Structure formats: structure tokens, C-alpha cells
């Protein structure tokens, strides 16, 4: 059974089972769809606010995923440098 957090509640909840890369790509796709909807400017205010809030959550998720990926790369490079130094 997967854990749920307050930030993950909503339309993307089934994606909790996806790997981090797939979650990032899915979040980016959803974020792009939200931006496209909002660019038209013909949404009611309440819907615009809801989409904006969802976009903020997705942006945070993407930033966290990118930071995690960057840390993984740094750790791999550090491990590689340690092997070469031996």
C-alpha cells in the first residue's frame, strides 16, 4: 500500500507508484496542460485559482525531483572519482 501525503492528494495520486523519472515527466506534462489552459484567459476566477494552486504543487514536485537527480549525479561522480584515486 502506498503512502499518501497532503501534497500528493488530487488527480495525480495513482502516479505514486511510478518511478521518480516517470513522476517528473508526468508532473511536467500536467503542468504544461495547466499553463496552456490558463494562457487562454477565459476561465472563471475560481478555476484559475485552483489551477494555479495545482501548478504550484507540481512545480515544487519537479524542483524536488531535479534536486534529487542532481544529488544522485554528484554522488555518482564522487564515487567515480574515489575509484579513480585508488
pLDDT in tens, 40-67: 989 999 999 999 999 999 999 999 999 9
- Could you tell me the CA-to-CA distances from 15 to 44, 54, 71 in Å, in that order? 28, 15, 23
All structural domains of the chain? 18-85 (1.10.287)
The residue that leads in pLDDT, 51 or 14, is 51
* Res 17: pLDDT: 60
What is the mean pLDDT of the segment spanning 22-44?
Answer: 94
Q: How many CB atoms are closer than 10 A to CB 24?
A: 19
- Which cell numbers in the block locate residue 17? 507508484
Q: Is it the case that residue 75 has pLDDT exceeding 60?
A: yes
- Is the pTM higher than 0.95? The answer reads no
Residue 16 contacts residue 61 (beta carbons within 8 Å)? no
Amino acid at each position: 500500500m502506498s503512502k499518501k501525503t497532503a501534497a500528493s492528494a488530487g488527480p495525480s495520486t495513482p502516479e505514486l507508484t511510478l518511478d521518480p523519472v516517470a513522476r517528473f515527466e508526468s508532473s511536467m506534462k500536467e503542468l504544461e496542460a495547466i499553463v496552456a489552459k490558463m494562457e487562454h484567459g477565459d476561465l472563471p476566477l475560481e478555476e484559475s485559482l485552483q489551477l494555479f494552486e495545482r501548478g504550484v504543487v507540481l512545480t515544487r514536485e519537479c524542483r524536488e525531483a531535479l534536486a534529487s537527480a542532481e544529488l544522485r549525479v554528484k554522488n555518482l561522480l564522487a564515487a567515480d572519482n574515489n575509484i579513480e584515486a585508488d
